[in-house]
Amino acid sequence: MANRSDILSRAQRFRTSFEAAGAVLVEPPILQPSDALLDLYGEDIRARAYVTSDALRGEQMLRPDFTVPVVQMHMREGAEPARYTYAGEVFRRQEQDTERANEYVQVGYEVFDRVNPAASDAEVFALITLQLRDLPLRAICGDIGILKAAVQGLKTTDLRKAALMRHIWRPRRFKCLLDQFSGRIDVHPSRQALLSTEGCVTGTAPEIGKRSSVDIDARVEQLRADAQAPAIDEHEVAALEALLNVRETIPFAIEQLRDVAVDLPAILPALEQLDARANAMRARGIDVETLEFEASYGRTSMEYYDGFVFGFYARGRPDLPAIALGGRYDALTRQLGQGSEIPAVGGVLRPDLILQLEEETV
């Protein structure tokens, strides 16, 4: 097993090569105010991050990743364009699997640049690939931007689209909503009963709590209106499902996605972006012809990625987590930017796992 100083010196080497690529070193504090993280991830983050507190600063979390503090720092004081690197521990609470580390070193590279997103995607991917050469890894990429475009392009109400968008990262609920909106499953009896009423129906029970009868009446009205909207067309649903199932090398994936676009033309701009990225990757010497693409990749456990996503996994070692992963998080900069935003993409490496694989391969 690699010891701590081996891991740190390898991390240092990665960091140095990221600095050579033009990144500025940043060192966010280990303790992060928990508000921003809770706002972003919701209550789920409590299952993944260690929480502590003091009387002055309130609740703090041991940083579960670097991306959020780096984005906050950039949005506060960064000049554009910017490239950052960092190396240090992140902390992940483990409640299910004792084999998974609860503290490990990450080295990252993040690019904030408006000019050419496809080129920035390729830059990050190529730089990470370079660090991992000679290791028995399998790379997978995906593109949440295509899914978002597909949902936005559905011929249905804004309300339904918003509900689907909100759950892109929760596949189970997404499927459930899609089944409802396309009329594949019956309307729940309680909803039917509610819809059979007219006028104001808040009844005799006392009004308690912050959510008011105004809120309830408004939602009932909204549900009535929504019930009048036609179901999402079966063609569109089938196309969306075909899209979600695309698993191919990039050239074939692009072909299949073009077929999907016949029924979902709204994804065409996103496909052009995918094409442009593939070309930018080729220009950086990536073997795009054999690179795997999974349309659903990144839909679980990577909630802030909303465009290009990628991960590297050890071949024959499904027990290991990703050796490296990353993606584009434009929406995150908007969420943390208090009015401003900037396209951003980045990735992280796990030097501990890399050393472990090297030892095992020798």
Partner 1 sequence: MSLKLGVPSKGRLMEKTFDWFAKRGVTLSRTGSDREYAGRVDGIGGVELVLLSAGEVPRELAVGNIHLGVTGTDLVHEKLARWEQQVEEIAPLGFGHADLILAVPQFWIDVETLDDLDSVAAEFRSKYGHRLRIATKYHRLVREFLTDTGVADYQLVDSQGATEGTVKNETAEMIADITSTGETLRANHLKILSNGLILKSQATIWRSRVASYTAEEKDTLKQFIQMLSV
Annotated binding site for L-histidine: 65-67, 92, 106, 110, 299, 304-305
* Closer residue to partner 1, CB minimum distance, 303 or 330: 303
Query: What is the C-alpha separation between 243 and 149, in angstroms, rounded?
Result: 11
Does the footprint of partner 1 cover residue 43 (CB under 8 A)? yes
Decide whether 116 or 202 has the Cβ nearer to partner 1.
202
Q: How many residues in the shown chain lie near partner 1 by CB under 8 A?
A: 37
207 lies in the binding site for partner 1 (CB under 8 A): yes
Task: Name the helix (H) or strand (E) containing 36.
Answer: helix 34-41
Q: Is 225 in the site for partner 1 (CB under 8 A)?
A: no
Read off the tokens for 242.
């075909």
Tokens found for residue 200: 């104001």
- Which H or E run contains 293? strand 292-294
Interface stretch with partner 1, choices 35-43, 83-91, 132-140, 269-277 (CB under 8 A): 35-43
Among 9, 27, 31, 44, binds partner 1 (CB under 8 A): 44
Residue 100 touches partner 1, criterion: CB under 8 A: no
73 within 8 A of 37, measured Cβ to Cβ:
no
Closest CA to 62 of 70, 75, 73, 50: 50
Instruction: Please select the residue that binds partner 1; options are 55, 115, 208, 362, rule is CB under 8 A.
Output: 208
Nearer to partner 1, 166 or 184 (CB): 166
Among 96, 196, 228, 340, binds partner 1 (CB under 8 A): 96
**Per rule CB under 8 A, is residue 227 in the interface with partner 1?**
no
Give the C-alpha separation, 221 to 226, whole Å.
Answer: 9
Contacts by 128-133, CB closer than 8 A, 24 or more apart: 128/310, 128/312, 128/324, 128/326, 128/347, 128/349, 129/286, 130/17, 131/14, 131/17, 131/324, 131/349, 132/312, 132/323, 132/324, 132/349, 132/354
User: Is residue 55 near partner 1 by the rule CB under 8 A?
Assistant: no
Q: Which is nearer to partner 1, 31 or 201 (CB)?
A: 201
Token pair belonging to 310: 């990628």
Task: Say how far apart CA 213 and CA 221 lie, in whole Å.
Answer: 12
Establish if 172 lies at the interface with partner 1 (CB under 8 A): yes
Among 52, 53, 116, 202, binds partner 1 (CB under 8 A): 202
The residues near 284 (Cβ < 8 Å, ≥ 6 apart) are 122, 123, 125, 126
Binding site for partner 1 (CB under 8 A): 38, 42-44, 46-47, 95-96, 163, 166-167, 170, 172-174, 176, 180, 188, 190-191, 194, 201-203, 205-211, 213, 215-216, 219-220, 223
